[in-house]
Each structure stands twice: as C-alpha cells, then as structure tokens.
Structure 1
Amino acid sequence: MVALDARTRADRLASDVSEGILRGDFAPGDRLDEHTLAERYGVSRTPVREALRQLASSGLVEVRPRRGAVVASVTPARLAELFGAMAELEATCARLSAIGMTPVERRGLQEFHASMAAFVEINDTEGFAAANLGFHTRIYAGAHNAPLAEIASGLRQRLLPYRRAQFRTPGRLPRSHAEHGQVVEAILAADAGAAHATMLHHVSLVEESFERLAERRAIRTS
C-alpha cells in the first residue's frame, strides 16, 4: 500500500508539473530542482524524482549532465510529427482490432466505452482522461500484435501530457466520447476500413484540441 501511495503521489505530481509546463509556469531551459519542487507541491523528494523520470520519458523534461532536469523545448513541428505518427499507429491498431478482436474483447470494449459516459455527464476531466487511457489500451491489445502495441504505448507515453491537456478544451469530453463511439461501432461491425478512418480522424482532432488550448493560454499569458 505504501508503494502504491507513493506511485499515486508521483503520478499526480507528474500531471501537475506537466500542466505547469504546458501552462507556461516553467519555461524551456528552466531547471527543475528536486528540493524546490518538493516545497512547491508539498511532497517529499522521492515522488519528485519519480515524477521527473516520468516527464523525461514523455519528452517534456530533459536530464542534462551537471544541470539535472530541465524543461525541454518541443517545437510545434516536432509535436506535429509525433501526433502524426501516433495517429497512424492508433489507426492501424483499430483496423487490426476490427479484424481480430474476440467476441469477449468486443463486448468489453463496448461496455467500457459506455461506462465513460458517466465522466462526460459530470464533466470529470481527470476521470475521463484516466479512462481514456484504458480505452485506447484495450484497442492496442485487441490488435493482437505485441510489437505494434508496445510501440503505440511508448509513443502515447511521450504524448500523454498533451493528450491529457486537450480535455480542458471546452466541450471536448462529449466530442471525444462521440468519436470513441464511432471507433467502437466500426470495430463491432468488423469494418476494418472504417475503424482505421475513424481512429485517424479522432487522433487528428486530439491534436487540434490541444493546439486550440495552447493558443488560448498563449493569449492569456501574453
């Protein structure tokens, strides 16, 4: 239980720091000192170290010799490349899921998607974001291609802070849930082409939602 609580604190801290980076509280090149972060967020240095490791794996933070952890500089062009790669990988997973998911897996995906409506109804962005990870993970598994699932999961980890942030765009939760519904419908119908197209469209809208959010934040802080 102690280890689980520590991991939960680290996960929450990683989310808070990533939100701060995306909001502009920490600028590219800023040093992220463990002691300062621990004091700022009211935690010990142990979850800070774990949170920084998570952020380094996502690309938001770089660990540099003699400087420690610093905020990385991610260009819009680089981010577009990452989202483009993510869209293609997720679309391929959806296509393969439409072909190869078992009846049990299809029912599980359908039920899981239906359960996410509860988060939409109360506008619970954190709950929806956590469930969203589970939704996409089910599609990775349903592709029944371990190397592809591993690559998709790794790239998703890199983009996780950006994908979580886009849920703060007004009206994004119901739109995301509806897009998921189109993907689920195609998979249940074993329509590989539609599954690929709807997932590709969904991830492209994720990128657009994050871009709109970033633009509004830039206007507010300029």
Structure 2
Amino acid sequence: MHTIAASIMCANQLNLSSELQGLEKAKVELLHCDVMDGVFVNNLAMGPYVLEQIKAGTSIPLDIHLATETPAKYIDMYAGLDPEYISFHVEASDNIERDIYTIQEKGIKPALALSPESPIEMIIPFLEKVPMILMMTVNPGFAGQKFNQRVLDKLDALNKVMATLEKKPLIEVDGNINQHTIPPLVEREANIFVLGTSALFNSEQGTFAEKVNNVRELFNRNHKSLGLVDL
C-alpha cells in the first residue's frame, strides 16, 4: 500500500483554505508539515498557530516533521494539535528513546527522520520502537533541491536490516518526489511519499486530484513491474 502526503509548506500560503479543499477532493491521506527552527536548518517554517488553523480547516491527518534542534521542546509544543505522526531527527536528539516515549505517551505515532548524509546505523537500534522512518532524499530546509541518489543505496541497506525484524516500520520518503524518482523508491519498498513542488504544488495544468491520480497510476505500474498484486 502506498500513501500520499502533501507537503503543505509548498502550498499557496495566501490561499490555504482553497488548497486544503483541493487536497481533500484529491483524497490525499496525510498533510506533511515541516517545522523548521532556523538552527537545525537554515530556514523557518510552520509555527503552531499556523498548523492550528490548518488542522481546523481540514480533516486530513497531520504528519509533523520536526527539522529542529532540541526535539523534546517542539514535541511538547506541537502535540496539542493531535497529529497522526511526529517525526524528529536522530541527529538532533540527545535522548532518542526518551523522545520516542514522550510522543507515544501523548497518543501520537513517533517517527525517526534521517538526513541524506547520515548513516542508517543511527536509526538501526530503534527500528522496532517506531512505526515509521522518514528518509530525507534532500537536505531538510528548502524545497526544489536535487534528489540525492545515494539515498537509494541507504534504502537498500535499510531494507536488508528490516528483513530480519518481526516488526517492520513504514518508510516515508521526502524530497523531490516525482515521476522520475518514484519508480526506484517503490522498488525499494517506500510506503509514504511526500509530494511537494515537483509533483503537486507546481505550475503545471491540472487539479490536485488529477496530479494525485497520475501518481497513483505510477504506483500501480511500478507495482505490476515488480510482479506484485495490484493496489
């Protein structure tokens, strides 16, 4: 099963109500919300008041990605929004198990995020403690970056490790996810695809529903090419 998450940071911020309505019509399953502190990454984005208004304007569950230093501080700040997921970067946490537990205690699904240059060894000890891994395919901070091909090798290595686990987390991928990068990611068993400027919030003609349907058709074609059952 493949899930589509819309990167709401890439939407038209002056027309969010209409954008959210379009995403609901397109049956997008998650809203990926990037929280940036200007320290862990050189950008600022999506404060709690903004996400509070977004949550009030849609029934689509929130998928909050903390691209921040001191994740514990932001977990407390954003947990009241009752998102489906909160992911934090293992590179930024001084106590990964504690931060996982804190998110779980708030009734939210914890996820671990990993930047392209970070080794998978950083997340391996925690794979059975979380329901999802967020593999960044670009450096967190800015949309429109080039897809990092080396992440494909990391996904191969990650899947080898996860094949030995009884409880396998989902793999979410984020960063220049489009018609060219989706096929190798489907092959590497990615489950949740974050769509931003390159596939959804762009100047190409078509509604969100049409663009999402194109992506779902791409999932199906690549699923069939791998000899798997249709979605």
With normalisation by structure 1, the TM-score equals 0.27
Larger radius of gyration: 1
Structure possessing the higher relative contact order (Cα contacts under 8 Å, 6 or more residues apart): 1
Question: TM-score with structure 2 length normalisation?
Answer: 0.26
Higher helix share: 1
Q: Which one has the bigger strand percentage?
A: 2
